[in-house]
């Protein structure tokens, strides 16, 4: 049993030794590798490279034309760009002919594209280069990279600090004042514990989670701009556990006519039409998600409890990109159950039961009945 | 009070379990054993455990800094109109498995069938189900099913298959060679029409029906006696006296679901009913029916014929008719005849043996008792069994002679279950062209040259007529999962018709059934309504003069009287009430359902009487060899007639998928073919003890009654004098504990179990397993007492070990208001709700098992391994029955958490159904109606023995039942204040002190 323990130790040491350069390498610019001597030789023969230069506006063609990349971002960005990303375009045109690509690019139909694509004169050859660059881009970036802060580095740095403090305290004794290593130990260890606790509590929670979605759907445009009620799309919120992610055919109720958006032009709306035509599904990234052992019902809260959607989901009608506002933790649920008063009179279920509570209400012993008072904190209401 | 005992060891030694040499290992030792791979020499100690703790801390640190995985939310492209995500849909349909029938509702979630419920509109099954009906949902997701049409072992397309088969059929037709279509009894009118069309197109085809458990003699006897072949419609609910000669009508006889319902309806003592039927059973083995009888007389199978003849003779005497001279009529038979005669017109005599002379005499008895027209009628018939045994014998001869050039087989498995299975296998191999239309590979279908796989019944359309003018529709709950096509469509394809069988049924109904009714002015309305209800039951009046006319009864009685008496050992084969005929052997739920009487699962075994065991020095688990070469483990069964033995069919499948393969021994060949019919008992069997030992997986020995009044019972006479008879020790104390009794401001959910209605069939256990995602643990774990069932049925014997009284008691979590489990949980993972539920929160449980230790009812189950793949550590997985593969996980109920390793679980009183019922009431702005919320066990119960309701609702049925004098609580002397209560068992006996 002692051998794996030692092995684990060795692993930590190895990790500490080699992790900084390894992490550095990840963050390094990928073009750094491309400018290697071996690749340099083929540089001007490579159509992808030519396409890249064209796309990024590095080849001079005409001074008054903005480069593609200034609108169509190549890498993942965390600010909203209504224009389709390079990847999006690659996905759409990968299997289309050059002529089609050209017709969309050079003679745009939508208003938005007309404004930006005015005066484009790419030759077929150049378009071919751009297209092959896009295809390569799509193959290279199968997975979208995501920015992340690696807590582990800090954690292990603190660990090393603690080790050094302890070694000095007991063995080397280089520091004159003993309170310094003790202080270092206490602070570092305390911070580590704090990190652990935070990390453990946040496990499985996604407050402020706002990933890029496959379609740049804006709740702001639909709910505020066009004044569409939440339940028009989330149809089952009043009758079922699930509020329902609108099925694609439902989008077509309006988008059969509305073919162009104010921000994104035709590109995003075309994705819905394409999904319907090709019989492919739209894979949204799920944001609000409770663990499997929690059984939450929209019908109970939105219909029976008459809660507003925004109480849990935040000001969705103001969001261009949907975001999880609350942490959806159990403590957050219970806080609301403690505070919220139940409408005890209008629903027959409540008005015809709970004799004792009704008497107390009438006698003025209590001023209102909160969810907690009728079992809102009990485990088996949500866990079974 | 009667002394109850649970096993023979307990009766003899006073204590229940024999001493074991190896002391059980402690908690930690068992855990560490897992890491040491069971190597006993390696020493694990506390320090290792601490190191493990250290590791887990380190691992959790690493995990804590991990990112959440990206989850996708994929909406429907075009949402089907009827589907609401998160809400279940129910489709009325029918369950069919050979001659088993049940009207059902298929519960689907997002288009995925997850549960089967009984259809309470049906006047055949009245909303009841059986264990096999409940378990059949898992068969849909069975991986062993055929997934493609096959030629030999190679996949072919339906087109190729159809072409080559049509070509062959035409060739055979031209050369006028004989072809046979072998099916089980077809009681679907439309299917019959399809087959008739098929026979018309290919006149050289002969259609043979084969029921492995046929009622051949019964059908023939009725034909001979009344001129109308078929099986009578029995009404056990109209009978005051029921006499059964070895007919296991509550277990597997003809229509167990219907008969359990009728039987228990007559025996319920609620609503002031005091007219309970009296049930007398003659049998050799202790069957489910026998264990529910008021009087049970153990007799050898060979003695039955004489007893029936004597009974007939006595009744003739009492009626003043010409009687026969029969000697040695015992006083018991005379008494019985007298009792039957006193109840003439309100009695029912049935026999299970497939023996023509017995069945004729039984008809005679019922006729002389004037029972025809009241408790049974021949003009209305049970149509699920129509096959005649001699047809099969003839087929075998024809196959052997090589006359038959092609064989088509659908839904039967004679190689496995026919008494000459091996001979049949050889005969099939000789047939030049053979096609199987089965759903799953079997011993028979694997020998066929072509396979045209059938759909599962949940994927099929069909109509059925299980009883005369009781029509029932089968509609699919899902599209076929594999590349299969239903049998009827396949036949239609082979005669060049359109393969849309639904259209065919509709046309048939429009033509034949629509004109019968008058309620609907157009066919669409009629069809939609029938489909929605699942049934169509037109009122038809039939005029049939039931006249018993048969010559030669005297001769028959003479033959019986003069037959040589056998003194030797007799063996009987039977269908166990859980497994049935073995078609569902690959269903792990059925395999793990213990037999109601012996409490053994995952095996078949030879039951012998205690006296026999003493003489032969046999113990339970000893292996014996029969003179036919079959080796079987022995189980000593109290109540088994001396010098007899019995063994269950349905085991020992060799080709059925991994679960049921080679579980137990196939004993089909122990039946015999005598006098033109299959006989299940045989004389002249010898058994010899071998040195081998075999471990049987029993769920019985773990819970002892320890002299306490757990099952309370009384005789009917005592009950009539004092409704509290047998329940003398019942006393209710309000706050006797140190904790204050909780109050329930809104609901107080409770269950009441009527022990007088419960027959012990086990449908509730499987229903609970399906509803609550209860895992399968396998034989080895059952032996280690790690079975997971949330509701178990305890079986107690009382009285003499040669003919004991049997009591069944379903035990689930009692939801105590003063729960011993709740106050020992260190993490508050089990708490009490304000609605009286004992809540179990899996995600809070850390697995100390203190609650399980402190539960006096032993209903809490611990997940020793990861049975469900809910655990993130792959090495923990323990899956003996493929239950964690994606396809089978489709059966999981999405409304119930799938538990991981290391947590306790138990009955939640179907809290998900309570929550759903409450929510529906709130949406409508009303209180929940009594009976609106049903637990899974209650819904499944064919006997109506379990009633759920709100104890705070004074008008509810559960309050009505619990306020009676028969009500008591389990171990009420320890003041746990359960929410589950029981009603005393009343036996229709003179006294109850056997």
- Overall number of domains in chain B: 6
- Identify the pLDDT of residue B45: 60
Contact between B262 and B224 under an 8 Å Cβ cutoff? The reply is no
The chain B residue lying nearest A154, using CA atoms, is B65
pLDDT at position A25 over 50: no
Q: What phi and psi values does residue B231 have, to the nearest 5 degrees?
A: -105, 135
Residues B667 and B629 grouped into a single domain: yes
Among candidate residues B289, B255, B265, B267, the one with its CA nearest the CA of residue B124 = B255
Task: Examine residue B735 and state whether it is found in any structural domain, yes or no.
Answer: no
Cα distance between residue B455 and residue B147, in whole Å: 10
pLDDT at position B17 over 50: no
Q: CATH assignment of A42-140? A: 1.10.760
Torsion over CA: B980, B986, B991, B993 (sign): negative
In degrees, rounded to 5, the angle at the alpha carbon of residue A128 between the alpha carbons of residues A123 and A132 is 150
Judging contacts by C-beta atoms under 8 Å, the chain A residues touching residue B55 are 4-5, 8
The chain A residue lying nearest B927, using CA atoms, is A349
Best residue in A1, A150, A370 to probe B by mutation, most B CBs within 10 Å? A1
> How do residues B398-445 score in pLDDT, each as one tens digit?
999 989 999 999 999 999 999 999 999 999 998 999 999 999 999 999
Cα distance between residue B789 and residue B585, in whole Å: 19
Contact between B385 and B254 under an 8 Å Cβ cutoff? The reply is yes
- Say whether B89 sits in a helix, a strand or coil: strand
- Identify the pLDDT of residue B50: 67
Q: What is the mean pLDDT of residues B122-132?
A: 93
Judging contacts by C-beta atoms under 8 Å, the chain B residues touching residue A285 are 70-73
- Identify the pLDDT of residue B31: 54
Q: What distance lies between CA B486 and its chain's CA centroid?
A: 25
Among candidate residues B971, B676, B561, B994, the one with its CA nearest the CA of residue B794 = B971
Tell me, yes or no, if A204 comes closer than 8 A to chain B by beta carbon.
yes
Residues B235 and B350 grouped into a single domain: yes
Cα distance between residue B571 and residue B609, in whole Å: 12
Residues B281 and B187 grouped into a single domain: no
Assembly ipTM = 0.84
Q: Which residues contact B884 (CB under 8 A, 6 or more apart)?
A: B867, B868, B869, B877
- Identify the pLDDT of residue B891: 94
> How do residues B48-76 score in pLDDT, each as one tens digit?
666 666 656 665 555 544 556 788 899 99
CA distances from B615 to B12, B242, B522, B570, B762 (A): 16, 35, 72, 16, 34
Q: What is the mean pLDDT of residues A306-325?
A: 92
Q: At B667, which CATH number?
A: 2.40.40.20
Task: Examine residue B4 and state whether it is found in any structural domain, yes or no.
Answer: no
B329: part of which helix (H) or strand (E)? Answer: none
Cα distance between residue A196 and residue A159, in whole Å: 13
Task: Examine residue B12 and state whether it is found in any structural domain, yes or no.
Answer: no
* Pair type for strands B861-862 and B838-840: unpaired
Residues B662 and B752 grouped into a single domain: no
Q: At B263, which CATH number?
A: 3.40.228.10
The confidence band for B543, taking pLDDT boundaries of 50, 70 and 90, is confident
The confidence band for A76, taking pLDDT boundaries of 50, 70 and 90, is low
Which two tokens mark A358? 């009704």
**Residue in A155, A248, A384 closest to B912 by CB:** A384
Give me the percent of chain B exceeding a pLDDT of 90: 70
Tell me, yes or no, if B658 comes closer than 8 A to chain A by beta carbon.
no
CA distance B751 to chain A (A): 18
- Identify the pLDDT of residue B485: 94
Residues B192 and B271 grouped into a single domain: no
pTM here is 0.86
Q: What phi and psi values does residue A199 have, to the nearest 5 degrees?
A: -60, -45
Task: Examine residue B425 and state whether it is found in any structural domain, yes or no.
Answer: yes
Task: Examine residue B712 and state whether it is found in any structural domain, yes or no.
Answer: no
DSSP assignment, residue B68?
A: P
> How do residues B175-209 score in pLDDT, each as one tens digit?
999 999 999 999 999 999 999 999 999 999 999 99
Give me the percent of chain B exceeding a pLDDT of 70: 92
Chosen domain end from B382, B408, B423: B382
- Identify the pLDDT of residue A33: 39
Task: Examine residue B724 and state whether it is found in any structural domain, yes or no.
Answer: no
Q: What is the mean pLDDT of residues B336-361?
A: 92
What is the domain partition of chain A in residue ranges?
2-34, 42-140, 213-328, 329-384
- Identify the pLDDT of residue B66: 53
Q: Which domain holds residue B576?
A: 570-650+657-694
Contact between B71 and A285 under an 8 Å Cβ cutoff? The reply is yes
Contact between B291 and B596 under an 8 Å Cβ cutoff? The reply is yes
Counting Cα atoms < 13 Å in the Cβ hemisphere of B47 gives 4
Q: Which residues contact A55 (CB under 8 A, 6 or more apart)?
A: A67, A68, A69, A74, A86, A130, A133, A134
**Residue in B60, B86, B839 closest to A379 by CB:** B839
**Residue in B61, B68, B72 closest to A283 by CB:** B72
- Identify the pLDDT of residue B554: 86
Residues B225 and B346 grouped into a single domain: yes
Counting Cα atoms < 13 Å in the Cβ hemisphere of B661 gives 12
**Residue in A242, A284, A349 closest to B927 by CB:** A349
Cα distance between residue A315 and residue B802, in whole Å: 77
pLDDT at position A115 over 80: no
Q: Which of residues 52-111 of B touch A (CB under 8 A)?
A: 54-55, 58, 60-65, 67-68, 70-79, 84-87
Residues B421 and B506 grouped into a single domain: yes
Tell me, yes or no, if A14 comes closer than 8 A to chain B by beta carbon.
no
Residues B224 and B210 grouped into a single domain: no
- Identify the pLDDT of residue A149: 53
Exposure class string for B607-621: b at 16+ Cβ within 10 A, else e: bbbbebbeeeebebb
> How do residues B303-323 score in pLDDT, each as one tens digit?
999 999 999 999 999 988 888
Q: What is the mean pLDDT of residues B838-850?
A: 94
Which two tokens mark B863? 């997940």
Q: Do A353 and B51 touch (CB under 8 A)?
A: no
pLDDT at position B713 over 80: yes
Q: Which of residues 714-773 of B touch A (CB under 8 A)?
A: 745-747
> How do residues A146-183 score in pLDDT, each as one tens digit?
445 567 788 888 888 888 888 888 888 888 888 888 89
Residues B126 and B241 grouped into a single domain: no
Q: At B508, which CATH number?
A: 3.40.50.740
Residues B193 and B284 grouped into a single domain: no
- Identify the pLDDT of residue B835: 94
Task: Examine residue B29 and state whether it is found in any structural domain, yes or no.
Answer: yes
Best residue in B76, B742, B790, B954 to probe A by mutation, most A CBs within 10 Å? B76
Q: Which of residues 219-238 of A touch B (CB under 8 A)?
A: 236, 238
Q: Which residues contact B865 (CB under 8 A, 6 or more apart)?
A: B777, B781, B876, B877, B878, B901
Which two tokens mark B538? 């037109």
Residues B970 and B877 grouped into a single domain: yes
Mean pLDDT is lowest, of A151-155, B693-697, B840-844, for: A151-155
Among candidate residues B698, B703, B788, B762, the one with its CA nearest the CA of residue B970 = B703
Task: Examine residue B3 and state whether it is found in any structural domain, yes or no.
Answer: no
Mean pLDDT is lowest, of A122-131, A278-287, B510-519, B758-767, for: A122-131
Residues B106 and B234 grouped into a single domain: no
B94 versus A139: which is more confidently predicted? B94
B880: part of which helix (H) or strand (E)? Answer: none
């Amino acid at each position: 049993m002692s051998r794996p323990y030692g092995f684990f130790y060795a692993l930590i040491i190895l990790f500490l030794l080699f992790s900084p350069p390894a992490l550095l390498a990840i963050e390094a610019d990928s073009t750094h590798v491309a400018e290697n001597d071996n690749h340099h030789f083929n540089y001007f023969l490579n159509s992808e490279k030519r396409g890249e230069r064209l796309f990024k506006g590095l080849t001079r063609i005409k001074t008054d034309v903005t480069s593609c990349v200034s609108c169509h971002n190549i890498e993942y960005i965390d600010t909203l760009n209504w224009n389709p990303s390079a990847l999006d375009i690659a996905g759409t045109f990968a299997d289309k002919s050059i002529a089609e690509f050209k017709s969309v690019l050079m003679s745009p139909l939508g208003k938005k594209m007309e404004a930006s694509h005015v005066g484009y004169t790419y030759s077929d050859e150049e378009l071919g280069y751009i297209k092959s660059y896009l295809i390569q881009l799509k193959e290279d970036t199968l997975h979208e990279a995501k920015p992340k802060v690696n807590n582990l580095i800090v954690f292990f740095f603190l660990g090393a600090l603690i080790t050094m403090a302890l070694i000095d305290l007991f063995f080397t004794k280089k520091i004159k004042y003993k309170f310094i290593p003790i202080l270092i130990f206490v602070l570092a260890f305390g911070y580590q514990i704090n990190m652990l606790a935070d990390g453990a509590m946040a496990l499985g929670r996604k407050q402020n989670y706002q990933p890029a979605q496959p379609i740049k759907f804006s709740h702001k445009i639909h709910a505020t701009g066009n004044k569409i009620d939440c339940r028009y799309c989330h149809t089952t919120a009043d009758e079922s556990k699930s509020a329902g992610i609108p099925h694609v055919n439902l989008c077509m109720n309006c988008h059969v006519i509305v073919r162009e958006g104010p921000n994104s032009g035709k590109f995003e709306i075309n994705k819905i039409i394409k999904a319907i035509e090709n019989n492919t599904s739209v894979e949204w990234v799920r944001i609000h998600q409770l663990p499997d052992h929690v059984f939450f019902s929209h019908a109970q809260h939105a219909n029976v409890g008459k809660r507003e959607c925004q109480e849990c989901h935040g000001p969705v009608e103001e969001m261009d990109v949907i975001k999880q506002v609350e942490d959806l933790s159990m403590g957050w649920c219970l806080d609301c159950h403690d505070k919220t008063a139940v409408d005890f009179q209008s629903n027959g279920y409540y008005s015809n039961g709970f004799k004792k509570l009704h008497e107390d209400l009438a006698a003025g012993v209590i001023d209102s009945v909160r969810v907690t008072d009728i079992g809102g904190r009990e485990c088996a209401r949500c866990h079974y | 009070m009667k002394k109850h005992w649970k096993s023979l060891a307990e009766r003899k030694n006073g204590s229940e379990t024999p001493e074991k040499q190896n002391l059980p290992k402690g908690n930690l030792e068992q855990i560490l054993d897992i890491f040491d791979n069971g190597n006993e020499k390696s020493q694990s100690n506390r320090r290792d455990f601490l190191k493990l703790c250290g590791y887990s801390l380190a691992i959790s640190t690493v995990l804590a800094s991990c990112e959440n995985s990206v989850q996708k939310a994929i909406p429907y492209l075009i949402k089907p109109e009827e589907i609401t995500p998160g809400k279940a849909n129910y489709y009325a349909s029918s369950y069919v498995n050979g001659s088993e029938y049940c009207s059902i509702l298929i519960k689907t979630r997002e288009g995925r069938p997850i549960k089967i419920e009984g259809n309470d509109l049906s006047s055949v099954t009245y909303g009841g189900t059986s264990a096999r009906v409940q378990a059949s949902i898992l068969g849909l997701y069975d991986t062993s099913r055929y997934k493609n049409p096959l030629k030999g072992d190679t996949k072919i397309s339906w087109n190729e298959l159809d072409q080559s088969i049509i070509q062959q059929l035409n060739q055979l037709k031209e050369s006028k060679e004989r072809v046979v279509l072998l099916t089980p009894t077809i009681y679907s009118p439309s299917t019959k029409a399809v087959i008739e069309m098929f026979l018309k197109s290919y006149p050289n085809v002969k259609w043979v029906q084969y029921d492995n458990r046929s009622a051949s003699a019964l059908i023939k006897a009725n034909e001979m006696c009344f001129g109308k072949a078929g099986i009578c419609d029995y009404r056990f609910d109209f009978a005051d006296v029921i006499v059964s000669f070895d007919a296991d009508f509550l277990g597997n006889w003809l229509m167990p679901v219907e008969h359990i319902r009728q039987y228990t309806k007559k025996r319920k003592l609620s609503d002031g009913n005091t007219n309970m039927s009296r049930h007398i059973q003659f049998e050799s083995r202790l069957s489910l029916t026998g264990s529910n009888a008021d009087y049970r007389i153990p007799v050898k199978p060979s003695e039955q014929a004489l007893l029936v003849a004597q009974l007939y003779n006595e009744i003739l005497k009492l009626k003043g008719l010409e009687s026969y001279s029969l000697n040695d009529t015992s006083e018991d038979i005379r008494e019985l005849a007298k009792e039957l005669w006193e109840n003439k017109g309100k009695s029912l005599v049935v026999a299970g043996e497939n023996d023509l002379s017995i069945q004729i005499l039984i008809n005679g008895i019922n006729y002389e008792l004037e029972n025809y027209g009241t408790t049974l009628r021949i003009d209305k018939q049970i149509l699920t069994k129509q096959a005649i045994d001699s047809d099969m014998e003839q087929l075998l001869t024809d196959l052997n002679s090589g006359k038959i050039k092609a064989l088509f087989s659908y839904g039967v498995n004679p190689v496995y279950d026919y008494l000459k299975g091996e001979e049949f296998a050889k005969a099939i191999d000789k047939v030049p062209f053979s096609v199987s239309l089965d759903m799953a590979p079997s011993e028979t279908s694997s020998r066929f040259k072509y396979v045209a796989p059938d759909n599962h019944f949940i994927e099929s359309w069909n109509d059925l007529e299980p009883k005369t003018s009781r029509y029932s529709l089968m509609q699919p709950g899902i599209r076929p999962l594999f590349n299969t096509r239903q049998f009827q469509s396949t036949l239609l394809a082979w005669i060049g018709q359109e393969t849309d069988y639904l259209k065919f049924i509709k046309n048939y109904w429009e033509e034949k059934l629509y004109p019968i009714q008058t309620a609907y002015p157009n066919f669409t309305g009629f069809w939609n309504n029938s489909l929605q209800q699942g049934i169509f039951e037109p009122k038809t009046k039939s005029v049939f003069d039931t006249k018993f006319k048969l010559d030669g009864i005297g001769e028959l009685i003479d033959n019986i009287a003069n037959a040589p008496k056998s003194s030797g050992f007799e063996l009987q084969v039977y269908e166990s009430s859980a497994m049935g005929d073995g078609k569902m052997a690959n269903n792990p739920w059925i395999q793990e359902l213990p037999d109601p009487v012996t409490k053994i699962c995952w095996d078949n075994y030879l039951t012998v009487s205690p006296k026999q065991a003493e003489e032969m020095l046999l113990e339970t688990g000893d292996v014996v060899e029969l003179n036919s070469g079959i080796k079987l483990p022995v189980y000593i069964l109290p109540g088994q007639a001396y010098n007899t033995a019995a063994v269950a069919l349905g085991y020992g499948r060799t080709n059925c998928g991994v679960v049921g393969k080679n579980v137990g021994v196939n004993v089909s060949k122990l039946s015999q073919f005598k006098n033109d019919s299959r006989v299940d008992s045989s004389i002249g069997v010898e058994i010899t003890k071998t040195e081998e030992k075999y471990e049987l997986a029993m769920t019985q020995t773990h819970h002892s009654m320890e002299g306490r009044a757990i099952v309370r019972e009384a005789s009917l006479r005592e009950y009539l004098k004092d409704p509290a008879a047998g329940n003398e020790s019942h006393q209710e104390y309000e706050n006797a504990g140190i904790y204050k009794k909780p109050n329930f401001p809104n609901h107080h959910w409770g269950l009441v179990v009527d022990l007088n209605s419960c027959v012990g069939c086990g449908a509730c256990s499987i229903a609970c397993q399906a509803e609550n995602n209860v895992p399968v643990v396998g034989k080895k774990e059952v032996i280690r007492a790690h079975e997971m069932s949330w509701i178990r049925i305890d079986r107690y014997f009382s009285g003499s070990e040669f003919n004991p009284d049997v009591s069944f008691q379903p035990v689930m979590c009692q939801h105590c208001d003063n729960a011993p489990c709740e106050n020992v949980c260190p993490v508050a993972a089990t708490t009490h709700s304000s609605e009286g539920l004992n809540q179990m929160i899996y995600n809070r449980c850390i697995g100390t098992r203190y609650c399980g230790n402190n539960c006096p009812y032993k209903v809490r189950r611990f997940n020793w391994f990861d049975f469900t793949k809910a655990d993130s550590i792959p090495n923990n997985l323990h899956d003996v029955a493929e239950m964690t593969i994606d396809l089978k996980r489709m059966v999981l109920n999405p409304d119930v958490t799938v538990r991981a390793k290391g947590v306790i679980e138990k009955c939640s009183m179907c809290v998900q159904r309570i929550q759903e019922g409450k929510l529906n009431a709130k949406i409508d702005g009303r209180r929940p109606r009594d009976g609106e919320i049903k637990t899974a066990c209650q819904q499944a119960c064919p006997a109506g023995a379990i009633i759920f309701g709100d104890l705070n609702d004074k008008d509810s049925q559960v309050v009505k039942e619990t306020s009676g004098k028969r009500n008591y609580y389990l171990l009420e002397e320890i003041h746990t204040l359960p929410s589950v209560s029981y009603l005393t068992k009343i036996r229709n006996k003179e006294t109850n002190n056997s």
